[in-house]
Amino acid sequence: MEGVNKDYPFLMGRKAIDEKAANIENGKILWEKTEQILKSHQIMR
């Protein structure tokens, strides 16, 4: 996805995708942390 621009309507324009957002490992870490939070609030089992 490097070099690909996406539309961001709330920014009223196009912008390159941030490296952190395109990194699959960052996504996995974020999802794991999200699951931990949901489980700690008994929203997810």
pLDDT of residue 18: 86
Which ranges constitute the DSSP H helices of the chain? 19-22, 24-40
Q: What is the pLDDT of residue 28?
A: 96
pLDDT digits (tens, 9 = 90+) for 7-29: 777 777 777 788 888 999 999 99
> How many Cα atoms occupy the beta-carbon half-sphere of 43 within 13 Å?
7
pLDDT for position 5: 74
Exposure letters 3-17 (e unless 16+ CB within 10 A, then b): eeeeeeeeeeeeeee
Please tell me the pTM assigned to this model: 0.57
- Predicted pLDDT of residue 36: 95
Residue 23 and residue 29 in contact, taking contact as beta carbons nearer than 8 Å: no
Residue 43 has pLDDT above 60, yes or no: yes
DSSP β-bridge partners for residue 8? 13
